[in-house]
Amino acid sequence: MAMSVPLVITARQYLLLKVLAHTFTGRHWRGLRENVRDILETHPGRIVSGWDASPGQFPYQASLRIRNSAGLLFGCGGSVIHQDWVITAAHCTANFVQVTVRAGLTQVHAAEYVADTWVWYNHFSFDSTTPTLVQPNDVSLVRVPYPMTFTVNLMSIQLQTSNDAYRDYSNEQLMASGWGRTWTNGPTSDRLQWTYLRGLPDSECRRRFLTVANSATICARFWNITSQSVCQGDSGGPLVHKNRWGVPTLIGITSFVASARHGGCHSGLPAGFIRPGSFHAWYQQVTGLNLDFSRNAPTPNLIERLKTAHNLL
Which domains are seen in the chain, by residue range? 35-313 (2.40.10.120)
pLDDT bracket for residue 214 (50, 70, 90): confident
What is residue 190's predicted lDDT score, i.e. its pLDDT? 80
What is residue 47's predicted lDDT score, i.e. its pLDDT? 54
pLDDT bracket for residue 188 (50, 70, 90): low
More confident residue, 94 or 181: 94
| Bridge-based pairing state of the strands 248-257 and 158-159 | parallel
pTM of the model as a whole: 0.79
CA separation for the pair 152, 258 (Å, rounded): 35
What is residue 183's predicted lDDT score, i.e. its pLDDT? 56
Going by C-alpha positions, the residue among 118, 62, 124, 58 that lies closest to residue 93 is 118
Q: What are the CA-CA distances from residue 263 to residues 49, 101, 226, 259, 287 (Å)?
A: 15, 32, 12, 6, 40
User: Where does residue 297 rank: exposed (0-12), middle (13-18), buried (19+ CB within 10 A)?
Assistant: exposed
Stretch (H or E) spanning 88: strand 85-88
61-102 pLDDT tens trace: 999 999 998 999 888 999 999 999 999 999 999 989 999 999
What is residue 308's predicted lDDT score, i.e. its pLDDT? 55
221-270 pLDDT tens trace: 876 776 576 887 888 999 999 877 888 999 999 998 776 666 566 666 88
Phi/psi of residue 279, each to 5°?
-125, 25
Interval 130-154 mean pLDDT: 92
